[in-house]
Chain A
């Protein structure tokens, strides 16, 4: 019975694919069709509407709708709905994308496409690389004379005033890996990493939103915290006492936002057109200028002042710390228990 249903669904899918590929002349007219894109709200939404959705709707006659939320919500949604997806495109993070591909809920990026080739080599892991960012340090300017290095977070006089992100996640796994490297090992040595990070205890704050972190850092209650560049840099412009540092020893941890095409989605062709525009030069330049999100498209050219605030070349990526994400994912459940017991508990 189950297999019967599945084969009917596959036949339907085959028919849908067959019919669209038989009508190449109609490929640009999508009037009445709807594309559903899962993405964050706020400035990203605004930039996508201006640079991608507006032009796309005009050219194709299609209707683009946004499903707002965080990446965790989108992961839950595309897995739960994988038999019958409602989302066509999902923006995921650096480690969710390869996992989603391995589990077959997203479509593998196609190396023959121009938009694949425009992106710096080696970045389309799992899905298409959308933007680059790095885990650096947000800090209170009264506490540090110069932008701090990772090691400075362990200064004895700051003990109990370093905030951490929630575990697991790209930020929390990133700082754990940095701790391991400072201890002379790397992220594969869980004991060394946890022991080193536990030296920061007590942890005064596990931040879950930028507002509380920047508010308390600006006031001086929190001295510093590891956080991903981008929003932290655009957000800190509203505060007097906050700075952001890209450390050098080791370099900041590379993170990426990924654009994923959901497997068996209702409008795969429209999704492709959306992806081309989202990954294109115009949109990525706007991301960089307004949000300090590093472009992945090799054709993007930025003003020197902007370029300095973000990660935008393969050479810069070379200086970043790259983590063994599959290994971290494999251990995320066991390490969550360790984090709760060894880092958070007093």
Chain B
């Protein structure tokens, strides 16, 4: 494609990102090197590293950031394990049920996080419906603590973000060439080899897109960890809320946000490097 038209096509996207995302971000990054005046919420624009020193020395914040990333990774894995079979079934098997299966998986995106999260509180509390049901079935004697526990937050994150995984997967998996699969099958390849060698590699664009969306959504989410974590689970979202909306320490909140962006950026670069190395190795293997 011609260089000129490439940049022309990129212009609207870059304008929106630059004007509405990048300029506040630059401002925020600048603020992170400032502090608030004593006994005031007004900012004192004198360069200082105080906020970053505080983040680096008080292990609380770094621990929260890493723990949030860990929760995000687990959420992605659970969404993949649940989402792949759903997307595959809708793409290949469902005929009459296709429309309803797609729309049902999208419903969490329709009715707002707050109402649904409070619905989950009703279900997951110690004396709630799920614990009652499990007891009635004789599966447990004592209530399981979902709320205020990682388990509850994880359930909430998966509930909220599974659609972000399934739709991109479906987008990719509906377009997989069927002849390749039938060829593999007629050669006697067992199902798991078919998945490992054909379906998963060809679905990679959807897997990556879905994983990126789910990961970032869960890492930055606030309502779900706040309400289901009941204050016992601290995440990036809850700490950001505390520092910016309750303490009103906007310079420090900005420094936290910048730190998290740097961590995530580093993670993305590392993953990209690994992927490139793997790709090179398989190319070499292919050549041999």
Task: Answer whether A and B touch in the complex at a CB cut-off of 8 Å.
Answer: yes
* A interface residues with partner B (beta carbon < 8 Å): 70, 72-73, 75-76, 79, 99-100, 102-103, 164, 166-169, 202-209, 211-212, 215-216, 219-221, 326, 329-330, 332-333, 336-337, 340-341, 344, 346
20 new A-B contacts at CB < 8 Å, known A72-B246, A336-B243: A75-B41, A76-B245, A76-B250, A79-B42, A102-B39, A103-B40, A164-B231, A166-B246, A167-B242, A168-B246, A206-B231, A209-B227, A211-B121, A216-B121, A219-B127, A329-B39, A330-B38, A333-B247, A340-B60, A344-B234
From residue B10, how far is it (CB to closest CB) to chain A in Å?
31
From residue A45, how far is it (CB to closest CB) to chain B in Å?
18
B126 & A167 in contact (Cβ 8 Å cutoff): no
B108 CB within 8 Å of chain A: no
Contact with A along B86-130 (1 / 0, CB 8 A): 000000000000000000000000000000001001100111000
Q: A99-B41, A219-B127, A333-B249 are in contact. Are A208 and B234 (CB under 8 A)?
A: no
Q: What are 18 A-B pairs at a CB distance below 8 A?
A: A72-B246, A76-B244, A79-B42, A103-B40, A103-B41, A168-B246, A202-B232, A204-B148, A205-B230, A206-B231, A207-B231, A215-B121, A215-B125, A221-B127, A330-B38, A333-B249, A336-B247, A340-B60
From residue B122, how far is it (CB to closest CB) to chain A in Å?
7
Main secondary structure of the interface of A (DSSP, over half): helix
A337 & B58 in contact (Cβ 8 Å cutoff): yes
A206 & B41 in contact (Cβ 8 Å cutoff): no
B276 CB within 8 Å of chain A: no
Q: Which of A73, A209, A337 contacts B60 (CB 8 A)?
A: A337
For A169, the chain B residues whose CB sits under 8 A away are 246
B33 CB within 8 Å of chain A: no
The 9 closest A-B pairs by CB, nearest first: A206-B231, A72-B245, A205-B230, A219-B127, A221-B126, A103-B42, A336-B247, A212-B121, A168-B246
Closest to A329 in B: B39
Q: A75-B41, A215-B122 are in contact. Are A167 and B226 (CB under 8 A)?
A: no
From residue A342, how far is it (CB to closest CB) to chain B in Å?
11
* B interface residues with partner A (beta carbon < 8 Å): 38-42, 58, 60, 118, 121-122, 125-127, 147-148, 226-227, 230-232, 234, 242-250, 252
Q: Which of A79, A209, A344 contacts B232 (CB 8 A)?
A: A344
A203 & B232 in contact (Cβ 8 Å cutoff): yes
Number of cross-chain contacts by CB at 8 Å: 87
A340 & B234 in contact (Cβ 8 Å cutoff): yes
From residue B13, how far is it (CB to closest CB) to chain A in Å?
26
For A346, the chain B residues whose CB sits under 8 A away are 232
For B245, the chain A residues whose CB sits under 8 A away are 70, 72-73, 76
B39 & A326 in contact (Cβ 8 Å cutoff): yes
Give bound CA distance, A309 to B39, whole Å: 36
B230 & A76 in contact (Cβ 8 Å cutoff): no
Give bound CA distance, A211 to B250, whole Å: 29
Give bound CA distance, A190 to B202, whole Å: 60
For A209, the chain B residues whose CB sits under 8 A away are 118, 227
Closest to A327 in B: B39
B248 & A72 in contact (Cβ 8 Å cutoff): yes
From residue A101, how far is it (CB to closest CB) to chain B in Å?
11
Give bound CA distance, A100 to B122, whole Å: 39
Closest to A72 in B: B245
B39 & A341 in contact (Cβ 8 Å cutoff): no
Closest to A340 in B: B60
From residue A71, how far is it (CB to closest CB) to chain B in Å?
10
From residue A158, how far is it (CB to closest CB) to chain B in Å?
15
B246 & A167 in contact (Cβ 8 Å cutoff): yes
B227 & A221 in contact (Cβ 8 Å cutoff): no
B39 & A330 in contact (Cβ 8 Å cutoff): yes
Give bound CA distance, A211 to B42, whole Å: 34
For B234, the chain A residues whose CB sits under 8 A away are 340, 344
A79 & B127 in contact (Cβ 8 Å cutoff): no
For A216, the chain B residues whose CB sits under 8 A away are 121, 125
From residue A325, how far is it (CB to closest CB) to chain B in Å?
11
Closest to B232 in A: A344
Give bound CA distance, A340 to B250, whole Å: 18
Closest to B230 in A: A205
From residue A237, how far is it (CB to closest CB) to chain B in Å?
19
For B127, the chain A residues whose CB sits under 8 A away are 219-221
For A102, the chain B residues whose CB sits under 8 A away are 39-40
